[in-house]
Every structure is written in structure tokens, then in C-alpha cells.
Structure 1
Amino acid sequence: MDDLVFTGNDPSLLQQFKKDMMSTYEMSDLGLLHYFLGIEVSQTKNGIFISQKKYAENLLKKFNLSNCKTVATPLMSNEKMKKCNGAKNADATKYQSLIGSLLYLTATRPDIMFASSMFSRYMEEPSQLHFGAGKRVLRYVQGTVDYAIIYKDEARSSRLIGYTDSDWVGCLDDMKSTSAYVFYLGSRICSWRTKKQSVVAQSSAEAEYVAAAKAAS
């Protein structure tokens, strides 16, 4: 396999690499990638853009929110939720479909990662309050449907930079906090995640330390 390793961006080298691959394996050259599993890919001289605009638009149509009023944030400020909130039960199947779709949308939308992860905790017995909060995320997506991730050729800028944060007692059911992190290689986002912490932090500072430790790991 060593003779098939391709590095660099020389067009002639790329063509030779493709010929070598096709002579070694049974395969076809379908040209540049444009669409794959709901992810749109646009390759230009300015970089590679990946988005899920069409998927997001279909999701908005599915929940009759194509013409909804948009909001500036996925969640309300300092919003905290719990399983038993006194509201009527929502349709669990519809709620699970909504949250499952939002979680798939996070493949190119790290800005909704925290909200989608939080609402996934209530999949078993969602209430109308949970469903309404989940639909708020869709209203945010409606206003940001053109958002995409760009990957530029920045060979000289490959510094790894990470950001981490946490809320404190974000889950009112077990009093646990939620960690989040995002990493960039240069200006290119490469990894992001949000997850409830496994321990109960006794202070906001401890919650931050736990989040930082998880990000470093």
C-alpha cells in the first residue's frame, strides 16, 4: 500500500494516484463528492464547504415550521429542564423523531449540539414542554439554515486550539452538570462534543475543571 499513498495538491500527482487506485482495486471515478447521506459538499478554490441545508429544510417541512418565526438562540438563557415538569405528555414517537433528526444535524451544526444532547435525555416520556423547547431549536435552524463548515488549505496554520465550558447543575433531576468542548486545527473545526458529567460537581469551578479534564482527554 505504500506506493498508493498520496500527499500534496499537484493535479498531475492526483491523476496518477487515481489511476494507480483504479488499476489496483475494482472501482469507478464518479468525480468530486457533492452529496452524501444528507451532507452537502461544495469544493471550490476557496475551500471545502460542508452543510446540511437540504436536510434542515426537509426537517422544517416535516414539522410544519418552514415559515416559522425565527429565534436568535437554540435555547432560552439559563434554561434548565427536568423529566417531571407538570406538563401534559407529548407524542413520544414525534419527539424521538425530532430529537433524532436534530442529533444527525449536528454532523455539520455544532451550534445546536448542546441543546440536542440535552433534549435527548427526555426521549422516554417527553412532555409538551420538552417538545416545545425542541421545536424552538428548529426555529433557530430556520434562521441559520445557510450555516456551513468550511475547511481551507492552511498548511502554515495547523495550531490545535480547544475551547471547553460547562453549565452548573444543568439537569435538575440528578443535579449533574454538562460539559462541552470544541477543537480547531487552525481555523478548521475538527471535533466537538457535549455530554452530561458522571459526577455531581459541588461548585461551578469544579464543573469547569471536570469539563477541562474531559476535553484534555
Structure 2
Amino acid sequence: MLQDVKSYLGRCFAIKDLGDAAYIFGIKIYRDRSRWLIGLCQSVYNEKILKRYHMENFKRGSIPMQDKLRLSKSQSASTPDELKRMQNVPYASAVGSIMYVVRCTRPDVALAQNITSQFQHNLGDIKRELRVSCYSNAGYLTDADDLKSQTGYVFVLNGGAVDRKSDKKSIFATSSAEAEYIVAFDASNEAV
């Protein structure tokens, strides 16, 4: 079927087959043919954004938007010192850079981008404290056939799970306490 489309286009237009596309408009195309998956990724563009705004060394992760987030103009810069400092912050440019990502590959962050774009005229210091909670558990000898334990953990931020894992361990635990230590170690590694 693909060859039929290519030959039809070749009859209508002067084309050259360059093989599988790897990038289009700066967006990486990745495939896993064995699992029938295809995806788009803008990680190179995202890295450029982070570098442009001196955020390349910040810790990264998935963060759900805070439930019932209330932003208002009263949080904006109000004193002369705050207003002067905010004149040097390229906030509108950063929001615009994120808008390109939202339109191309990340519609999931459109609401957050839209809300923050409403405050482009005078952002001020809007600071959010991020409290991440981690819960872990282990089931000792959950598989009677091979005597291995099932373990899991979940990280929660703003009431939403941001990371989780559940698996059967490849090592044997000699007690339920040891199984709990193993999953606590795994969760702490993930946290770091």
C-alpha cells in the first residue's frame, strides 16, 4: 500500500525517496516497529529552551498541575524593586516558546501554559512549593511457585501520581522486612 502511494505521488510530482523520516520541523520521529509504536519528540528543542532561560541544570520530572490553582494579579510584582527586577525576566518569550511545544507534541500541558500566559504583563514572584510524597509496599512471597516478592512504589505530587513502579523482584527476600527494605531502596534511588 505504501509503495502504491509513493508511485502515485511520483507520477504527479517530482519526488525523491529519502527513506524513513527522522525529523520534521525540528520534531524527532521515533518508531518501534516490533511493538507497532510511533511517536514524536521535541527534546532537542526543549533543551534549547532550558538553555536559553538558564534552566538546563534544573531537576526535571513530570508534575501534575496543582488542583484548584488560583493565580491573581495581586501576586504580581508591586514594589519598585520587584518591578525593576521583573523587567529583566523574559517571561513572555518563555511562555511563547512553550506554546510551540504545546501545539506540536504536548497538548497535555496546554491548560497550564494558557493560565500562565494570562500573567505576561507583570508576573511577579509566583513561587510554588512542591511536596512529593512516596509510598512503597512489598508483598513477601507473593508468588508461591518461585518464592519471590512483589514490590511497588508511587510518588504523589498535588494529589496525582507522577511516578510509579510495580514488579516482581529477581532476588529472594528472607523476610517481609527485607522485602520492605528492598522496595524502600528502589524508591529512594528513583527519588534521587
The alignment status of 1:97 with 2:93, answered yes or no, reads yes
Q: What TM-score, normalized to structure 2?
A: 0.53
Superposed CA deviations along residues 190-214 of structure 1, whole A, max 9, x for unmatched, are xxxxxxxxxxxxxxxxxxxxxxxxx
Contact 2:29–2:39 (Cα < 8 Å) also in 1 = yes
Q: Choose the corresponding residue for 2:46, options 45, 56, 73.
A: 56
**Alpha-carbon distance between aligned partners in 2 of 1:40 and 1:71, rounded to the nearest angstrom:** 20
Which has a greater percent of strand? Answer: 2
Offset at residue 96 of structure 1 (A): 1.2
Does residue 78 of structure 2 align to residue 81 of structure 1?
no
- Partner of residue 113, structure 1: 110
Choose the corresponding residue for 1:36, options 2, 15, 24. Answer: 24
Structure 1 residue 101 displacement after superposition: 0.9
Of 72-81 and 25-34, deviating more is 72-81
Larger gyration radius, structure 1 or structure 2: 2
Within 1, Cα distance between the matches of 2:54 and 2:67?
A: 25
Deviations 1:124-174 (A, max 9, x none): x122325x67xx9xxxxxxxxxxxxxxxxxxxxxxxxxxxxxxxxxxxxxx
Q: Does the aligned pair in 2 maintain the 1:41–1:48 contact within 8 Å?
A: yes
Question: Which gives a bigger RCO, structure 1 or 2 (Cα 8 Å, sep 6+)?
Answer: 1
- How many positions carry a matched residue from both structures? 120
Structure 1 length as normaliser, TM-score?
0.48
| Partners of 1:28 and 1:93 in 2: CA distance | 46
Change in 2 beyond 3 A, CA 1:72/1:30: closer
Contact 2:31 2:38 in 1 (8 A): yes
| Residues 20/65 of structure 1: CA separation in 2 closer, same or farther (3 Å cut) | same
- Percent identity, aligned pairs only, is 26
Alignment of 1:142-153 (within 5 A): none
Q: 1:81 to 1:91 in 2, by over 3 A?
A: same
The answer as to 2:58 corresponding to 1:68 is yes
RMSD value over aligned CA atoms? 2.6
| Contact 1:39–1:50 (8 Å) recurs in 2 | yes
Distance 1:127 1:62, change over 3 A: same
Deviations 1:95-115 (A, max 9, x none): 111001111111212332111
Q: SS of the residue aligned with 2:90?
A: helix
Structure 1's 121 and 26: CA in aligned 2 closer, same or farther, altered over 3 A? same
Residue segments in structure 2 that go unaligned for 5+ positions in a row: 130-192
Aligned match of 2:9? 21
What are the superposed Cα offsets for residues 5-61 of structure 1, whole Å, 9 maximum, x if unpaired? xxxxxxxx3223212211211222222221122321113312211111111111111
Q: Secondary structure at the match of 1:68?
A: coil
Structure 1: stretches of 5+ with no match in the other structure: 1-12, 137-217
Asked if 1 retains the 8 angstrom alpha-carbon contact of 2:21 and 2:29, the reply is yes
Counterpart contact for 2:75–2:124, Cα < 8 Å: no
